């Protein structure tokens, strides 16, 4: 049973659960379109196309995970969130997943809602929440940005893999004999290793862009540094 693949194939999850997640994914992507239109400008629009093309190209290249006997590739949620923001970023990853399913058969067409939920929506949302937190506590230097990209990329992959575990619990077509915890542990362990590759690719790409054109990194523009605490005068009019 191919339960280690983030691109879920047809037949792994039953039809009703797949339909529910398809409706959920469509609703969230509609919201992303509405919110993303506010961010689109002459700088972000072409950047979104470049990000989608880059994720599509890099996803075609698998890197082996020798200790697990599988291979992994970039999911792109953290990379997209850093460069074009969460709303447009989720749309970029979703477009890549749709093209891969329709043209290359990578993931079942009937399972698109599940795959989009895990990789485009959940992965991008978790990544951006971590990015927003880390960029408020880490220095906005290449090192700080690289750490932010690596951590958000790694954790977003692991969380996305647990989205599959939830979906399988709701509608998996093969009985695991009550060993859902084993599936969750296996998915987390394998995708932790894949997440290391995701984090390295994300950090290298974003830091490279930031060194040349920091204005093209959405997270640096949109997330303002934390304001310093106001100085309170001492009581009693001390001078």
CB of 105 closer than 8 Å to CB of 15: no
Domain assignment present for 127:
yes
Range of the domain at 76: 15-222
What values do phi and psi take at 70, rounded to 5? -130, 180
pLDDT (average), residues 4-17: 81
Burial class, 111, CB count within 10 angstroms (exposed 0-12 / middle 13-18 / buried 19+) = buried
The pLDDT of residue 239 is 42
Crossing angle (nearest 10°) for helices 86-99 and 15-39:
130
Which range has the worst mean pLDDT, 79-88, 154-163, 180-189, 217-226? 217-226
Which range has the worst mean pLDDT, 65-69, 172-176, 187-191? 65-69
How far apart CA 122 and CA 78 sit, in angstroms, is 11
User: Whole-number mean pLDDT of the chain?
Assistant: 86
Domain assignment present for 175:
yes
Greatest mean pLDDT among 4-13, 73-82, 149-158 lies in 149-158
Q: Which two tokens stand for residue 122?
A: 């959940």
Domain assignment present for 23:
yes
Please count the CA atoms within 13 angstroms of the CA of 219 that sit on its side-chain side. 30
The pLDDT of residue 228 is 54
Domain assignment present for 238:
no
For the cut 50, the answer to whether the pLDDT of residue 91 exceeds it is yes
For the cut 60, the answer to whether the pLDDT of residue 236 exceeds it is no
For the CA atoms of 92, 135, 162, 86, what is the dihedral angle to 10 degrees?
A: -20
Instruction: Summarize pLDDT for 185-232 with one digit per residue, the tens.
Output: 988 888 898 899 899 999 999 999 999 999 899 999 887 775 554 555
* CA angle (27 as vertex; 110, 13 as ends), nearest 5: 30
The predicted model scores a pTM of: 0.86
How far apart CA 77 and CA 93 sit, in angstroms, is 7
How far apart CA 34 and CA 13 sit, in angstroms, is 30
Phi-psi region of 11 (alpha: psi -120 to 50; beta: other; left: phi over 0): left
Q: How far is CA 56 from the centre of its chain?
A: 14
* 88: Cβ contacts below 8 Å, ≥ 6 apart: 32, 36, 39, 40, 44, 48, 80
How far apart CA 160 and CA 75 sit, in angstroms, is 9
Give the single-character DSSP code of 172.
B
Domain assignment present for 3:
no
Q: Which two tokens stand for residue 151?
A: 């951590």
Domain assignment present for 103:
yes
Q: H-helix or E-strand containing 229?
A: none
Domain assignment present for 101:
yes
- When divided into structural domains, the chain yields a total of 1
List the CATH number of the domain containing 78: 1.10.1760.20
Instruction: Summarize pLDDT for 109-135 with one digit per residue, the tens.
Output: 999 999 999 999 999 999 999 999 999
Domain assignment present for 216:
yes
């Amino acid at each position: 049973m191919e339960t280690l693949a983030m691109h879920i194939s047809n037949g792994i999850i039953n039809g009703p659960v797949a339909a529910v997640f398809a409706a959920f994914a469509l609703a969230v992507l509609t919201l992303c379109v509405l919110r993303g239109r506010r961010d689109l400008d002459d700088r972000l629009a072409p950047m979104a196309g470049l990000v989608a093309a880059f994720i599509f190209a890099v996803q075609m290249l698998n890197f082996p995970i020798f200790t697990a006997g599988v291979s992994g590739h970039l999911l792109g949620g953290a990379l997209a969130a850093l460069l074009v923001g969460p709303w447009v970023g989720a749309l970029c990853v979703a477009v890549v997943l749709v093209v891969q399913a329709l043209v290359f058969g990578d993931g079942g067409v009937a399972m698109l809602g599940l795959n989009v939920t895990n990789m485009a929506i959940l992965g991008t949302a978790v990544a951006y929440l971590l990015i927003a937190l880390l960029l408020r506590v880490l220095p906005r230097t290449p090192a700080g940005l690289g750490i932010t990209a690596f951590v958000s990329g790694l954790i977003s992959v692991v969380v996305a893999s647990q989205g599959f575990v939830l979906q399988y619990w709701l509608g998996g077509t093969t009985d695991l004999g009550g060993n859902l915890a084993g599936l969750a542990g296996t998915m987390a362990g394998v995708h932790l290793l894949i997440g290391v590759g995701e984090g390295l690719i994300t950090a290298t790409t974003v830091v490279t862009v930031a060194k040349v054109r920091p204005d093209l990194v959405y997270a640096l523009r949109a997330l303002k540094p934390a304001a310093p605490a106001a100085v309170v005068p001492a009581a009693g009019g001390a001078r």
